[in-house]
Structure 1
Amino acid sequence: MRVTVLAGGVGGARFVRGLRAALEGSDAEITVVINTGDDLWLSGVRLQPDIDSILYALAGVNDTERGWGRAGETERVSAELREWGSGWPWFTLGDLDLGTHLARTGWLREGLTYSQIAGRLGSRWPIGVRLLPMTDTEVDTQVVVEDGARMHFQEWWTRHRATLPARAFENPGIEAAVPAPGVVEAITAADVVVLAPSNPVVSIGPILTVPGIREALAEATRVVGISPIVGGKVVRGMADACLTAIGVETSAVAVARHYGRRADGGVLDTWLVAQEDADLAPALAADGWDVRVGPLWMSDLEHSAALARAAITL
């Protein structure tokens, strides 16, 4: 069985861990196409937060309490950078995490692409999953706020905690980007493609915006989406602020319609909603949706595996 997941952030990392556990012992092939819109240059090094979060989670070296970065982290280098007035004082890089960024930056200077680097990073630990960036082009997410000012997504998200009302999310240069090598093939050759319960706007959104990826999804065997909304609330983070900015209600129904059915030119065949939102399912079913109801909380690996198993056996 071949499974391809479109993912980003902590929700994506938890789902992919669960998927690997659900398929353990089988001959399944798992490929994860990861959002790179969160990427940035900081203090001369290249950061890829979503790729690293998924890599660390699969390797079992992630900080489960904070939800990001490495376990057992120290922050001496960040403290020294602040003394020099370098970087962002509100954006802390752990020392172990910084080692990843330095390795990545060095490989970039040697001429490697982001997809080649993802392969190198994934080979350090036996993660059992192929990691692919959505594109090898740098298409960092910019946020346009109410006064028309622009800032990197990480500044809006981490420094301002998404409290500045946003008017738009943009990825300059993405119209000229192409899917990273292997991405289109991973989508079209998969037995099932899963849209992880990641932020629909800034995690899944940039992936779907890369030219060629929506076209690949149109040729996929089956596309299943998992709602990131449970009981009318986001599971983690501030995705509700992102949805509000693009005029989408924070509800399982609204997010489904935002993605759209493949039969209507969208990207989904099946939409999995939480038990807490079971009363919303008939509204989608009346519009022709194949909507299923199940437990979506990924509180531990067992629950994440159960969710993944449900998604791929629909």
Structure 2
Amino acid sequence: MTESPRIVVLAGGVGGSKFTLGVREALVRRGAPEATVVVNTGDDLWLSGVRLQPDIDSIVYALAGVNDVVRGWGRAGDTERVNHELQAWGAGWPWFTLGDLDLGTHLARTGWLRDGLTPTQVLERMSRRWPLGAHLLPMTDAEVDTIVHVRDGAAMHFQEWWTRHRATLEPTAFENPGIAAAQPAPGVVEAIAAADVVLLAPSNPVVSIGPILAVPGIREALATTSATVVGVSPIIGGRVVRGMADVCLTAIGVETSAAAVAGHYGARRDGGLLDAWLLAEEDAALAPAVEGRGIRSVVCPLWMTDAAATAAIVEHALAAADA
């Protein structure tokens, strides 16, 4: 692999936004081209008449340096006057906060969608405001929101299950209605085919990376690309770093361990996705189990404490690709 590799990242959520910052930092140091980041849109939704794209906005805000790093979502220094007014009218969800600056993003997006732009074109327009240092693509232009089925037979939008109920309602299945008829957004398959390395961010494997892989054509593109596919474990020391990914993994029968998630993705030689897998130092004892699945293991620090630490993780991933 050259010093200027072509990188594609599959990402979603707060973990994906942090990882993308590290990818940008590592590639700037190498003088390499900007990475293409394929972003999960499975947790998108319509609320109060506007289209929300939480994962896209998290990554855009992080790359622009305007994200709220304390809350982990939304804009830094945001206010909530409009949100309070919506709630006074009984509109929206009282447990789902829309910041005023954040709402400006949603209004702009919705207006462009109403004008006939596709989500890909909207994201391209959004990317012009700030120097992001990465090329962002939605996984698809289709609306394939995530529906969660829970133990009592009820079904609800992922955001209600995640934000209102904090994943306390036991899930039995995750569904993306319409995804079987969806197509990859323009440029996604082409970027994967032309890449030197594809990185799976340490995002939730079920509801962040899972919907991307479920778009027809993307998994096939990963299977046939000449790029090396390297994943980064979202599990450190047998625990999720953030969020409730353990609940999601349990629902699909996957243990909350770095080795089990690697097995969930599978080895490329056996029809899976991975050539290599980054394990945290706390999980070094699991390396033989990963190797036994036909996936090259790399043990390194995986705490994304800042962009420099995350860039070091990306360098380990690129070194694994070189190997």
Shorter-chain TM band: over 0.9
Q: Give how far 1:29 is off.
A: 2.7
Residue identity in the other structure for 1:63: D
Q: Give how far 1:194 is off.
A: 0.2
Q: Give how far 1:250 is off.
A: 0.2
Q: Give how far 1:308 is off.
A: 1.3
Q: What's 1:7 paired with?
A: 11
Q: Give how far 1:122 is off.
A: 0.9
CA distance in 1, matches of 2:244, 2:43: 14
**Does residue 215 in structure 1 map to residue 257 in structure 2?**
no
Q: 1:93 aligns with which of 86, 94, 98?
A: 98
Q: Give how far 1:226 is off.
A: 0.4
Q: Which is worse superposed, 16-25 or 70-79?
A: 16-25
Write the mapping of 1:239-258 to structure 2, written as runs, cut at 5 A. 239-258=245-264
Q: What's 2:305 paired with?
A: 299
**Does residue 237 in structure 1 map to residue 243 in structure 2?**
yes
> Secondary structure in 1 aligned to 2:28?
coil
> Secondary structure in 2 aligned to 1:32?
strand
CA distance in 2, matches of 1:127, 1:32: 11
Q: What's 1:162 paired with?
A: 167
Residue identity in the other structure for 1:271: W
CA distance in 2, matches of 1:23, 1:217: 22
**Does residue 288 in structure 1 map to residue 294 in structure 2?**
yes
**Does residue 24 in structure 1 map to residue 34 in structure 2?**
no
Number of equivalent positions = 314
Query: Unaligned regions of 5+ residues in structure 1, if any?
Result: none
Q: What's 1:226 paired with?
A: 232
Q: What's 1:275 paired with?
A: 281
CA distance in 1, matches of 2:292, 2:135: 38
Q: Give how far 1:162 is off.
A: 0.2
Q: Give how far 1:284 is off.
A: 1.9
CA distance in 2, matches of 1:49, 1:308: 24
Show CA shifts across 1:129-186 (max 9, x none): 1110000000000000001111000000000000000000000000000000000011
Q: What's 1:34 paired with?
A: 39
CA distance in 2, matches of 1:287, 1:171: 29
Write the mapping of 1:174-185 to structure 2, written as runs, cut at 5 A. 174-185=179-190
> Secondary structure in 2 aligned to 1:24?
helix
CA contact (8 A) 2:141 2:184 kept: yes
Q: What's 2:193 paired with?
A: 188
Residue identity in the other structure for 2:283: D
CA contact (8 A) 2:15 2:202 kept: yes
Q: What's 2:78 paired with?
A: 73
> Secondary structure in 2 aligned to 1:4?
strand
Q: Percent identity?
A: 72
Residue identity in the other structure for 2:281: Q
Query: Unaligned regions of 5+ residues in structure 2, if any?
Result: none
CA distance in 2, matches of 1:41, 1:214: 27
CA distance in 1, matches of 2:21, 2:303: 14
Q: TM-score, normalising length from structure 2?
A: 0.96
Q: TM-score, normalising length from structure 1?
A: 0.99
Q: What's 2:177 paired with?
A: 172
CA distance in 2, matches of 1:313, 1:106: 44
Q: Give how far 1:114 is off.
A: 0.2
CA distance in 2, matches of 1:30, 1:63: 23
Q: Give how far 1:128 is off.
A: 1.2
Residue identity in the other structure for 2:21: R
Residue identity in the other structure for 2:147: Q
CA distance in 2, matches of 1:130, 1:286: 35
Residue identity in the other structure for 2:267: R
**Does residue 260 in structure 1 map to residue 266 in structure 2?**
yes
Residue identity in the other structure for 1:164: L
Q: Give how far 1:287 is off.
A: 3.2
